[in-house]
Amino acid sequence: MATAAVPPGSFHLPRSGDPRSQGLLSSALHLPLRAATALLAPGSGEGLLGLLPGWLRNLLPGWDCDRDMPDMFGKVVMVTGANSGLGFQTARLLARNNAHVVMVVRDVDKGKKAVSDILSEFSHAKLSLMQADMGSLRSVKRLADDFLASSSPLHVLINNAGMLAPGPFETTEDGFETTHAINYYGPLYLTLLLLPRLRACAPSRVVNMASMGEVFGTIHWNDLRGVDMGSSGMKAYGASKLYTIMASRDLNRRLRGTGVDVFAVHPGIASTPGEVKSDKSYAMAVMAFVASRLHGQSELRGALPSLFAATDTSLQGRGGLYIGPNPLGLQLFGWGGWNTVARSPMSWEARDAVECKKLYDATRGVLDGAAVAAGLGSVPVTHFRDAQEEAAAREQGAEALRKGGKGGLPLEAASPTPTAMAQ
């Protein structure tokens, strides 16, 4: 891990987006230019929202990262995909607020540039750079091993890296459809590998990046690797994000009582470089362009759900929530409005706790098989709550046997004891 900064002397809070402290005349003169910039390049700053005077902005409801984000001094936060788009803004503002940010990137040169961009803006930023391809289990394992070997604490893991619908069908070395691997299995593997450290640093959090695209997803029970889909388009993307929401919810249930909260978030539609990386037909490209200008928000606003879930103290012990803007409206001209509100996922499966458990169990089994096949060993078992339930059932069973009856649940071969998992 390359440490690239010094600890901050004091907490200071430069504004996050467009400068709003100009005089009235200067503001008026710059207004048309800023309006044009916001419309033509909505990913920058705060989009049209940045045109509002500060006093009016402060009246808007919702969490404001300048006003409401706590000082993160002493906290270590890992952000994957931290060199670009939402991940960059997330890393940038966490660093501004004094967190030690471990920026995970797949391309080290892009990562170095992102580190230097943040440092040039916030010289107090404490940043480390690590490399991993989230689509490769071997690479994710190496990342986790290197991090765990560093003995660094870990308070928040933000699984942000991901791709929108890349289009051409591809499978990974581990036998997953690419979107499934990068958006779902890689982040799940990383989470499970880092869980012991997160638990040791509790209260801690995992924030998983989902998407409104979950609405296009269904569970492909017979094809959980996505390899029979034949395309890496919206269907695969939707499934990967639906699984993300469902597994977040179920993992949180299993971790209840451990001090680790797991959240899923979504950014609505945000104008990021990710938009151009996705493969689109001409009609889709036009639709995406119009949607992102009228309905979309800036990178910075799109990062708010992750920042809120990662930092807000009111969320302690409230894992399992799905946080993001209203999917249907109120984003007009970039106003994310209620970006930081708990929502109900649109897919019924993600609202059903039993389906979530089933999906988690099934995909965890698939992940385990792939990790073993890759020679990486079994995925650590972290079903803390299930272990507690099973221990209780075992007790009940023993009690029933003592009384001459039968009882208790059959135990999973791999069920861990709480002590084993606490290592």
Segment 295-334, which members bind ligand NAP (CB under 6 A)? Answer: 302
Q: According to the binding rule CB under 6 A, does residue 245 interact with ligand NAP?
A: no
Selected from 76, 239, 269, 310, the binder of ligand NAP by CB under 6 A is 269
Q: Which is nearer to ligand NAP, 277 or 358 (CB)?
A: 277
The alpha carbon dihedral of 248, 250, 255, 256 has a sign of positive
Q: According to the binding rule CB under 6 A, does residue 163 interact with ligand NAP?
A: yes
Q: Which is nearer to ligand NAP, 97 or 211 (CB)?
A: 211
- In the block, residue with structure tokens 């971790």: 255
237 is catalytic: yes
Q: Which of 237, 243, 322, 360 is catalytic?
A: 237
Angle at 139 between CA 138 and CA 140, to 5 degrees: 95
Q: Estimate the crossing angle of helix 108-121 against helix 85-96, to 10 degrees.
A: 40
Residue count (the chain) = 423
Could you tell me if 155 and 204 are in contact, meaning their C-beta atoms sit under 8 angstroms apart?
A: yes
- Indicate the residue type of 313: T
Q: According to the binding rule CB under 6 A, does residue 278 interact with ligand NAP?
A: no
Q: According to the binding rule CB under 6 A, does residue 293 interact with ligand NAP?
A: no
Q: According to the binding rule CB under 6 A, does residue 106 interact with ligand NAP?
A: yes
Selected from 17, 45, 47, 81, the binder of ligand NAP by CB under 6 A is 81
Strands 341-342 and 2-3: unpaired
Distance CA 144, CA 172 (A): 19
Provide the 3-class DSSP secondary structure of residue 191. helix
Distance CA 181, CA 174 (A): 8
Number of shown-chain residues binding ligand NAP (CB under 6 A): 30
Is residue 419 classed exposed, middle or buried when 0-12, 13-18 and 19+ CB atoms within 10 A define those classes? exposed
Instruction: Specify the stretch interacting with ligand NAP by CB under 6 A; choose among 122-130, 273-281, 326-334, 414-422.
Output: 273-281
Q: Which is nearer to ligand NAP, 106 or 220 (CB)?
A: 106
Q: According to the binding rule CB under 6 A, does residue 274 interact with ligand NAP?
A: yes
DSSP state of 297: B
Q: According to the binding rule CB under 6 A, does residue 182 interact with ligand NAP?
A: yes
Selected from 5, 76, 86, 260, the binder of ligand NAP by CB under 6 A is 86
Could you tell me if 178 and 166 are in contact, meaning their C-beta atoms sit under 8 angstroms apart?
A: yes
Beta strands in 39-165 (DSSP E): 76-80, 100-105, 126-131, 156-159
Selected from 11, 70, 107, 146, the binder of ligand NAP by CB under 6 A is 107
Selected from 69, 134, 242, 323, the binder of ligand NAP by CB under 6 A is 134
What residues line the site for ligand NAP (CB under 6 A)? 81, 83-87, 106-107, 110, 132-135, 160-164, 182, 209, 211, 266-267, 269-270, 272-274, 277, 302
So which residues are the catalytic ones?
Answer: 237
